[in-house]
Chain A
Amino acid sequence: MISPIGWIIIWIGVFFDILGAIGLVRFPDVYNRLQAATKCVTLGTFGIMIGIFLLKGFSSMGIKALICGAFLLLTSPVAAHALMKGSIHFGTKLWKGSVMDAYGKDKLGGEQIEKED
């Protein structure tokens, strides 16, 4: 009974990974792309890890997968945060359709939004 559920969760994870990749291509600027990449890829990979745990049970491999999943949940947002902060300080501007930029207004002396052509 556990085995088909494990496979279903693994396939849901793969599906979300693909959606994340599509979002990465379709969104306009680095910040929106990070949104797609972080959310979908974290849940997708976490799903794959949980699926492996359900397939293998409390064996050596299953417990390793579970620990990997937990560390993924903790570290992946931190990595995204670092990338985002890095690109802000590097001077990458927000997409021209953006409505506001409180960070630029407060810290960088003016909103960092691309001008319309």
Chain B
Amino acid sequence: MRYLLYFILAFCLWLLLTLSVHLDHIIAGVVVALLSTIIFGGYFTTRPIKFLQLHRIFWFVVYIPVFIWYMIKANIDVAYRALHPQRPIRPGIVKIRTMLKTDIAKVFLANSITLTPGTMTCEIDGEFLYIHWIWVESSEIDEASKIIARRFEKYLRRIFE
């Protein structure tokens, strides 16, 4: 089941990339999609039904503008620190705890943290994440988790869990 879904997704991506319906393009696409299914299909989600649940897709669509807004804020923040004559940085690595359980949700959380203001994921270890923070506001686990991770967790929990 999940191999079939992976094959369909890979083939759709190929169609979007080539954007032609010539026979040789489609044959090449089938071969490539089959190869990637054989190699990577095993890493794919174990519950493909999640793709079809509408509330998850709805929250994903809500999440994209939120994420892009934080990304723009992050860039202005880094630009300010890079251009300021005194270079106002106070870096450090802090530890935070996440409420998310599944692996894919943790990956998305880590990616989101990396692209948002002043924070960057060093390592995921079970329910703990180690974050490099360019301006350390709090060294307490709970306080830092609240500042860094809560704003994404409420969306990611609804999307992936």
A contact set with B: CB distance below 8 Å: 16, 19-20, 22-23, 26-29, 31-32, 34-36, 38-40, 42-44, 59-60, 63-64, 67, 73-74, 76-78, 80-81, 84-85, 88, 94-95, 97-104, 106
Shortest A100–chain B CB gap in Å is 4
Which residues of A are found within 8 Å of B120, using beta-carbon distances? 31, 34-35, 38, 80-81, 84
A19 close to B82 (CB less than 8 A): yes
B contact set with A: CB distance below 8 Å: 13, 16-17, 19-20, 71-72, 74-75, 78-79, 81-83, 87, 89-95, 110-111, 114-115, 118, 120-123, 130, 132, 134, 136, 139
B83 close to A40 (CB less than 8 A): no
User: Which of B13, B89, B110, B114 meets A27, CB within 8 Å?
Assistant: B89
Main secondary structure of the interface of A (DSSP, over half): helix
A94 close to B13 (CB less than 8 A): no
User: Which of B79, B81, B91, B95 meets A95, CB within 8 Å?
Assistant: B91
Shortest B1–chain A CB gap in Å is 24
